[in-house]
């Protein structure tokens, strides 16, 4: 059976059989068999290809990595666990924001702490102008879901919706900027997600606690890992359910 995921990944990245053959040190016929006949490359070749197409090995070859190895690699994706999001050092956020060149993805309710960084919005504009894809997904401030979450976090009725509207005022300069998309979601937010290229902060949510006081995971993507990819897929699911932000 042909490996359509690999075929699609090469096409999306403009890579030819010849380029893959040169990078992996095999002949083009071998590369063709990897795609048309679904043959599985050796681990060293899988790693090279996955890096070139910016996909995980487990996505391109779901059955190639044994469960024990998947588990070990996935554990290694966790750089550090913070007991509270507000205990993440400021210099880590600086590192993540400054070094991102291709993807910035944010799934939150309001995340006012981000716009408290004086240059955050301007940084997003500069990154978009340099070719990065920026996707920001906020809670719909008029939704019942946000109102219920406000009460669950003991903020008081309507408080979270007001926080979102306050935050959105700072994001107005991003409207109409090419490369930047903003949407509203109405989903139950189990985690806030902050992706910067191949690094990510996942802020888990605990009933009765505000996000700043809930744990946060700093992840770094590995090609055969599953943790980073799981949260990335979660972002995509919510994104597809969301509507363009209007404010």
- Judge whether residue 179 has pLDDT over 80: yes
- Judge whether residue 73 has pLDDT over 80: no
- Beta bridge partners, 135, equal 105, 181
What value does the mean pLDDT take over residues 130-155? 88
Position 159 scores a pLDDT of 87
Greater confidence, 158 or 216?
216
Position 135 scores a pLDDT of 98
What value does the mean pLDDT take over residues 37-52? 90
**Cβ proximity of 192 and 60 under 8 Å:** no
Residue 19's contacts (CB-CB under 8 Å, 6 or more residues apart) are none
Structural domains in the chain?
A: 4-64 (1.10.260.40), 75-244 (3.30.870.10)
What value does the mean pLDDT take over residues 26-36? 93
Position 70 scores a pLDDT of 67
Position 54 scores a pLDDT of 85
DSSP string, the chain: ---HHHHHHHHHTT--HHHHHHHHTS-HHHHHHHHHS-PPPPHHHHHHHHHHHT--HHHHSTTTS-HHHHHHHHHHTEEEEESSGGGS-HHHHHHHHHH--SEEEEE-S--HHHHTSTTHHHHHHHHHHTT-EEEEEEE-TTSHHHHHHHHHTTS-TTHHHHHHHHHHHHHGGGTT-TTEEEEEE-S--SEEEEEETTEEEEEE--TTS-GGGS-EEEEE--TT-SHHHHHHHHHHHHHHH-EE---
Position 195 scores a pLDDT of 98
């Amino acid at each position: 059976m042909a490996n359509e995921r690999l075929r699609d990944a090469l096409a999306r990245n403009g890579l030819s059989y010849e380029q893959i053959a040169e990078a992996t040190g095999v002949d083009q016929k071998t590369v063709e068999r990897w795609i048309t006949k679904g043959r599985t490359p050796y681990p060293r070749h899988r790693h090279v290809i996955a890096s070139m197409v910016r996909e995980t090995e487990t996505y391109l070859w779901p059955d190639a990595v044994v469960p024990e190895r998947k588990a070990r690699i996935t554990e290694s994706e966790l750089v550090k666990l913070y007991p509270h999001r507000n205990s993440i050092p400021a210099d880590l956020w600086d590192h993540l924001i400054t070094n991102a060149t291709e993807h910035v993805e944010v799934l939150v309710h309001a995340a006012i702490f981000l716009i408290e960084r004086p240059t955050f919005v301007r940084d997003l504009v500069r990154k978009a102008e340099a070719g990065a894809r920026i996707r920001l997904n906020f809670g719909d401030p008029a939704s019942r879901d946000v109102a219920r979450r406000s009460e669950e976090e003991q903020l008081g009725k309507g408080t979270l919706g007001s926080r979102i509207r306050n935050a959105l005022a700072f994001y107005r300069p991003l409207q109409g900027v090419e490369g930047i998309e903003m949407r509203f979601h109405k989903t139950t937010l189990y985690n806030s997600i902050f992706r910067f290229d191949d690094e990510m902060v996942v802020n888990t949510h605990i009933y009765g606690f505000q996000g700043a006081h809930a744990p946060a995971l700093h992840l770094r993507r590995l090609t055969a890992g599953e943790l980073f990819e799981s949260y990335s897929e979660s972002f995509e699911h919510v994104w597809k359910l969301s509507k363009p932000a209007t404010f």
